[in-house]
Amino acid sequence: MNDSATLDDAASERAAYVHIPFCHRRCPYCDFAVVDLAEEQASFDRYVAAIEAEVSMEPEWLPLHAVNFGGGTPSILSPEQLGRILRSLDDRFGLLPGAEISIEANPEDWTEQHAAALRQIGINRVSLGVQSFDPQVLAKLGRVHDPAAAVASVRNAQRAGFNVVNLDLIFGTPGESVQSWHETVVAALDLATNHLSAYALTVELGTALSRAVRDGAPAPNEDDLADKYEHLVAAVGDRLAHYEVSNWADPGRECRYNLTTWAQGEYLGFGLGAHSHRDGVRTRNVRRLDGYLQRVERDVPPQAGREAPGQWDRERERVYLGLRRRAGVVAGAAGAALLGSATGQRLVSAGVVEVVEDRLVVARPLLTDAVAREVLALSPPHSAGNALSLSPGEC
């Protein structure tokens, strides 16, 4: 979907994110709000009840175009438990006909029976955390599935009739050769999935990977990451449409939830560490499981922070989010400020940024993050509202 009008229309859609934090084990590169089941045996039912209670606290809203179950490992919950959460969202807000209902899953616990049960409760999109088809790379990433399990999980999802089957890939693991990465991309494309996401391995502070790098383990190499990204773009070619810097899809199979967030649309977040954007206000939930449960069970909203960005902050945000899309974003005031700056002129002269009618487009997607940083650094052309930040603190 590189039709600019359709992309911009996603700003008017409404979505919900539900965070399911439980994992059998934490991957070494993960910095999400995750609960390792080896350390925490909290009842899944208690957590589901807390989600239902949090949904009931939220003021009424418009019906939802998309729901995304993320984690963690959302598929660790039973279909019945996930169905309870979906019913609570439908009862409170409504789900539009044809709404995208997406779930993340790991290949090792994705069976044909489980896939069929999830389709029965209305989930129609699955994102499988395949990461690589190289057993040695999978081991370094701390993944417990093998390539055969990844293939089986995709086939199970396709047989179950999911509208979209996405494969999540990671490139740049130290020791991963270009040939290994090439074979992973080819294997993913040969499975005929209709969506592909691929992300560079990053070292996030506080993760097991960051501690290993601090102690002398090799870190991802920037040149290697760049080479593998460019190899990926060339290998995918026109087999899938490149609609966002890290995402490819068949036309009409783009992730609706993500399109909403990239268009600065509004969404509600439920669960541990979840973020919301409603009525121009951004909130985030507490990241500790005990704090989350205790608050919700006392009928207290589990928010840890709240921010009401000012006009200029929202304008910069609109542009840096929109630049992730291959069709770019309407330039507006922040785009004009970028183009009028010395840095912006250099970016245009170097062919990194292009102006297409009234839109800014990053012509070299590998440099999207660098362009976004320049947008965030822009000063308002005149006096503009500053962000109001109210942060009661993490629980």
Q: Is residue 22 part of a domain?
A: yes
Taking residues 323-342, what's their average pLDDT? 95
Q: Does 102 share its domain with 37?
A: yes
- Give the single-character DSSP code of 245: T
Domain limit, last residue, from 262, 291, 324: 262
∠ CA 268-102-57, rounded to 5°: 25
Q: Is residue 281 part of a domain?
A: no
Distance CA(130)–CA(242), nearest Å, equals: 19
Q: Does 33 share its domain with 171?
A: yes
The region, left, alpha or beta by phi > 0 then psi within -120 to 50, assigned to residue 289 is: alpha
Distance CA(290)–CA(182), nearest Å, equals: 43
Q: Does 171 share its domain with 316?
A: no
Burial class (CB in 10 A: 0-12, 13-18, 19+), 68: buried
Neighbours of 238 (CB within 10 A): 6
Sign of CA dihedral 51, 56, 59, 63: positive
Residue entry with tokens 């012509």: 363
| CATH code assigned at 246 | 3.20.20.70
Calculate Rg over the CA atoms of the chain: 21
Amino acid code (one letter) for 207: T
Q: Is residue 304 part of a domain?
A: no
Q: Is residue 105 part of a domain?
A: yes
Q: Does 227 share its domain with 345?
A: no
Q: Is residue 277 part of a domain?
A: no
Q: Does 334 share its domain with 193?
A: no
Q: Does 255 share its domain with 338?
A: no
∠ CA 50-53-55, rounded to 5°: 110
Distance CA(115)–CA(163), nearest Å, equals: 12
Q: Is the pLDDT score of 32 beyond 80?
A: no
Helix (H, G, I), strand (E, B) or coil at 130: strand
Q: Is residue 290 part of a domain?
A: no
User: What pLDDT, in 10s, does the model give residues 222-262?
Assistant: 999 999 999 999 999 999 999 999 999 999 999 999 999 99
User: What pLDDT, in 10s, does the model give residues 45-83?
Assistant: 999 999 999 999 999 999 999 999 998 899 999 999 999
Q: Does 199 share its domain with 339?
A: no
Q: For the chain, how many structural domains are there in total? A: 2
* pTM for this model (two decimals): 0.91
Q: Does 244 share its domain with 318?
A: no
Q: Does 135 share its domain with 20?
A: yes
Q: Is residue 351 part of a domain?
A: yes
User: What pLDDT, in 10s, does the model give residues 375-392?
Assistant: 999 998 864 444 433 333
Could you tell me the residue range of the domain that residue 354 belongs to?
311-376
pLDDT of residue 33: 66
Cis peptide before 72 (omega within 30 of 0): yes
Q: Is residue 274 part of a domain?
A: no
Q: Does 316 share its domain with 175?
A: no
Of residues 48, 47, 64, the one with CA closest to residue 99? 64
Q: Does 225 share its domain with 340?
A: no
Work out the pLDDT band at 214, boundaries 50, 70, 90: confident
Q: Does 53 share its domain with 128?
A: yes
